Structure 1
């Protein structure tokens, strides 16, 4: 991912000069710490949304505080996190015991809807409503048996499973050499993230007036939120277009326009789309008030790098 964005370093410097701020992107959402670029609480954002649009969600400061486990399955993830790191669906007490993170966790009801999307939203601060810039559809990593291939062979041969081979081999160790009946579907990864084998595709044709209106209504309730991606689940395509969905989380300034990873996109198309989104981020951020410390931001970034 970082290699893809390397050509944007010059673009970042130019925008920094125009806005007189090296970290102008941290101003895009003044109501969120660092604009939602890093070290921001996703739970604090979810708390500002009407319960009808979010799963049952709780925050625990320490794993040991969660003594009365919810009904399985449920989701656990870091409150401050990104790119699907340590996001897990907990199916048993043993899963919970083995979950690695210990502090500042979000516990969330598992939403078993078949469709998941990333809805990218932007609004100019001086305008009454915003727009949906793009929608990413997500195709989860799963085996659809041909009646011949074992799960072990599928994991070994599927390029999307490459970075999760060891994890998947352990997770399905009792099923690896079973040949399932033809047509049987086995979901290997229930978390919709690129590094978990999810394939992203451009679903921007699903943008509708009703969906845009609903996203605008929800965004109005979030303190000074102007730019970011809603990760949502829906029961059907039509439900999404009609503004009926559940929000899993909202990402801020660090949001990526993930529809650019659609296999149909050429490299030039991907760069054009990434630039379009980043141009809008700059236009929103350049005249926003600064409410963060450059020193603190630099310290956090250096800590993450080293």
Structure 2
């Protein structure tokens, strides 16, 4: 990792190629949930409520556990936080949008194609598509659920992507970075003979992209990359399409903590969550500079660094457990300060609606 600090995003990406999947990635989700649910129940008894974590970020729906929109985080940002966030606009899909009205909306925010479209209410990269032109946007809206909002955001071409997990200590009020993960996009390397489909099938990570029913590979499967040519397979870096997460806790510096804490404090009472960013180089990121926020996730954020293939299942679960305990502690402190968490049935309804919408979104790419 120290060597990667000297490199930009693309060079670091080449160093990070890992074929195998972590034990946590290979485990059935229900099996991972068993110990997490057990600790959640214990913490619920200890802190007096299963939805105590929802009080962590009181200005966000359910604190960001479920059912919140991406725009809720953006619209609450002050000038400092806004200055390091990728430009965006919102389109309510009422079926009435025309090419002219969409162009006016886009240009009013200083945006131009290519753009990234993402559901305001989404998760795990579902429905996120890179749109090269107006025709692609119109096609996207034609199959996007009516009555829901699409976020159009400036495309960030940097190869470097990171998830910065932030928490504000419930006792001291000190802002901390409690996790840093580097995210690498799924890719294959050509040999001059094999098609993309054959290269994907031979790669234990990349083959996930062919098995994902809610994703379309942006590269023709029949094309034959030149020998040594690296082919990026997706706009998103989620593990569900073969992305790779690497624990980068060694890169957490005082400068990065100060920069992220300043952003978090420029949002209304934001105390727990993950900033997903693109960056130019690891050296710049560690110095607290040169990063751009793509989106923010609240109380429901995953400790994605635990999915690093170099981290064993016990250590990975410990990392997830630790963040769960911290989330309850922050939520309990907020409740003690007068924040009232959402009810359990209301949270369940939000989660059900969110999961129902995911199945209706256009495929990611």
Report if TM-score (shorter chain) is over 0.5.
yes
Partner in structure 2 of residue 95 of structure 1: 136
Distance 2:218 2:244 in 1: 21
Q: Is the CA contact (8 Å cut-off) linking 2:217 and 2:234 kept in structure 1?
A: no
Q: Does 1:290 align with 2:340?
A: yes
- Offset from partner CA, 1:210-252 (integer Å, 9 cap, x none): 1000011011011111111110010000111111210001100
Q: Aligned residue for 2:310?
A: 264
TM-score by length of 1: 0.91
Compared with structure 1, are the counterparts of its residues 36 and 167 closer, same or farther at alpha carbon in structure 2 (3 Å cutoff)? Answer: closer
Q: Does 1:60 align with 2:91?
A: yes
Give TM-score, length-normalised by structure 2.
0.77
Which SS does the other structure have where 1:60 is aligned? Answer: strand
Q: How do 1:182-261 residues align onto structure 2 when only pairs under 5 Å count?
A: 182-244=227-289, 245-261=291-307
Structure 1 residue ranges without an equivalent (≥5)? none
* CA–CA distance in structure 2, aligned partners of residues 254 and 216 of structure 1: 19
Q: Deviations over 1:47-96 (max 9, x none)?
A: 31533201111112226445216532110101111111101111233432
With over 3 angstroms needed to count, the CA separation of the structure-2 counterparts of 1:302 and 1:60, relative to structure 1, is closer
Quote the residue 1:10 is aligned against. 38
Instruction: Provide closer, same or farther for how the CA distance between residues 290 and 283 of structure 1 changes in structure 2, counting only shifts above 3 A.
Output: same
How far apart, in 1, do the equivalents of 2:183 and 2:267 lie?
A: 25
1: CA distance, partners of 2:305 / 2:65:
19
Equivalent residue number for residue 71 of structure 1 = 112
Relative to structure 1, the CA distance from residue 28 to residue 143 in structure 2 (aligned partners, 3 Å threshold; closer, same or farther) is same
Quickly say closer, same or farther: Cα 1:167–1:160, change in 2 above 3 A.
farther
**Which residue does the alignment assign to 1:112?**
157
Aligned residues: 304
Matches within 5 A, 1:122-137: 122-137=167-182
Distance 1:40 1:304, change over 3 A: closer
Residues 178-234 of structure 1: CA deviation (Å, up to 9, x unaligned): 433222222111212121221111111110111000011011011111111110010
Three-state SS of the structure 1 residue aligned to 2:207 is helix
Q: Distance in 1 between matches of 2:282 and 2:206?
A: 26
Unaligned residue ranges in structure 2 (runs of 5+):
1-28, 357-365
**Residues 168 and 188, structure 1, Cα contact 8 Å, conserved in 2:** no
Residue 299 of structure 1 and its aligned partner are, at CA, apart by 2.6
Check the 8 A contact 2:121/2:354 in 1, yes or no: no
8 Å CA contact 1:152–1:169 kept in 2: the answer is: no
CA gap 1:122/1:169 in 2 versus in 1, 3 angstroms: closer
Structure 1 residue 12 displacement after superposition: 1.1
Q: Distance in 1 between matches of 2:185 and 2:279?
A: 14
How far residue 28 of structure 1 moved from its aligned partner, in angstroms, is: 1.6
Structure 2 contact 52–341 (Cα < 8 Å) conserved: no
Structure scoring higher RCO (CA < 8 A, sep ≥ 6) equals 2
Contact kept? 2:191, 2:228, Cα under 8 Å: yes
